[in-house]
Amino acid sequence: MKEKDITQKVLEDNNDIFADIVNVLLFDGKSEVEENELVNTTVHSQYKAEDGKVHEQERDIAKYWKRGCTDIVLYGIENQTKVEKRMPARISGYEGASYRGQYDKKTIVPVITMVLYYGTDRKWTAPKNLKSLIKVPDNLDKYVNDTKANVFEIAWLTDEQIAKFTSDYKIVANFFVNKRKNKDYIPDDKTTIKHVDEILKFLSVMTGDNRYEEILSDKEGVSNMCDVAQRLEDRGIEKGLQKGREEGLSLGGNQMIYSLVEDKSISMEKGAQKLGVSVEKLRVNMINAGYKCPDME
């Protein structure tokens, strides 16, 4: 999880991406926040727990939106790959510390926290406000302050929302939406990548597929996700060939494709395309030849 956090922070900490996220998710695509108006601020704060010990809490990313010398908003981003049941309580701690940090300033600006949820198996099911976690005694509800968790389910963004992104985050959003719809999705986004290192490391960690990061060793010529998909396929084929050489196998063309599909070096769709048959025909042929299809697991 720590590696995931670091990778997410490196990507989203780029001001062009951070501004794009804010503009699309909070301002419906309007260019309200310019990247040169964002200034990093501390992500660390301390609190004393019930055990009497002082603990440190760390936000993922925090930036002031400034116009000239004037602070407008303090934005925070928190990344989640899994549903966090008590997220509003965490946010309350972060935002409380941010407001306390502004105590001596002439003007206190609003603090807005955005939770970017990257899960693809299910939507966010946990409470999104603090009061939902608290059992409030009768007649005291109006005295209990509430904190809202602004959760954005990235894998469920609409095509219209994705189209409004202008940075590399458009590639990220498109990838997760397609991954939700098809777990064997092969990247086919032709959008030019600006932050190649950050994008590939991000996808490597988030998908658990080290091949994305391995591409970094020879990233020259990678300009979009179609290039990435081609590199993945080339590596998959080479992996299959190497495996055959190591095991002393002499596989025919069809058997080589069957082997690559079986160990998930390439998808069922790509294997069918290589052989010029339908996915269903490939499935039947593999079973008849004694191979196991990934979707049989």
Regarding whether 206 and 94 lie in a shared domain, the answer is yes
pLDDT at residue 243, rounded to an integer: 53
Regarding whether 279 and 189 lie in a shared domain, the answer is no
In a domain, 297, yes or no: no
Closest Cα partner for 155 from 143, 137, 172, 130?
172
Regarding whether 177 and 278 lie in a shared domain, the answer is no
pLDDT at residue 94, rounded to an integer: 92
Regarding whether 28 and 140 lie in a shared domain, the answer is yes
In a domain, 8, yes or no: yes
In a domain, 200, yes or no: yes
Regarding whether 214 and 180 lie in a shared domain, the answer is yes
In a domain, 242, yes or no: yes
In a domain, 233, yes or no: no
Regarding whether 254 and 121 lie in a shared domain, the answer is no
Regarding whether 187 and 242 lie in a shared domain, the answer is no
Higher pLDDT, 177 or 8: 177
DSSP annotation of 111 reads: E
In a domain, 129, yes or no: yes
Regarding whether 145 and 78 lie in a shared domain, the answer is yes
- Could you tell me where the DSSP H helices lie in the chain? 2-12, 15-27, 87-101, 159-164, 169-181, 196-207, 211-214, 225-246, 253-262, 268-275, 279-288
Of the residues 173, 191, 223, the one at which a domain ends: 223
pLDDT tens for 235-284 read: 555 555 455 544 444 455 677 788 778 877 777 887 788 778 888 888 88
Of the residues 168, 189, 223, the one at which a domain ends: 223
In a domain, 63, yes or no: yes
Tokens of 225: 């996700």
Regarding whether 218 and 243 lie in a shared domain, the answer is no
Regarding whether 247 and 205 lie in a shared domain, the answer is no
Q: How many domains does the chain have?
A: 2
- Averaged over 108-125, what is the pLDDT? 95
Tokens of 22: 């804010």
Regarding whether 267 and 159 lie in a shared domain, the answer is no
In a domain, 198, yes or no: yes
pLDDT tens for 67-105 read: 988 999 999 999 898 999 999 999 999 999 999 999 999
Look at residue 71 and give its three-state secondary structure: strand
Higher pLDDT, 189 or 155: 155
Of the residues 223, 257, 280, the one at which a domain ends: 223
Q: What is the pTM of this model?
A: 0.75
Look at residue 248 and give its three-state secondary structure: coil
**Cα-flanking dihedrals φ and ψ of residue 222, to 5°?**
-90, 110
pLDDT at residue 248, rounded to an integer: 42
**Pairing assessment for the beta strands 54-58 and 150-153 based on DSSP bridges:** unpaired
> Are 157 and 118 contacting, i.e. CB atoms less than 8 angstroms apart?
no
> Are 179 and 120 contacting, i.e. CB atoms less than 8 angstroms apart?
yes
Give me the domain span that covers residue 267: 238-289
Regarding whether 83 and 33 lie in a shared domain, the answer is yes
Share of the chain above pLDDT 90, in %: 47
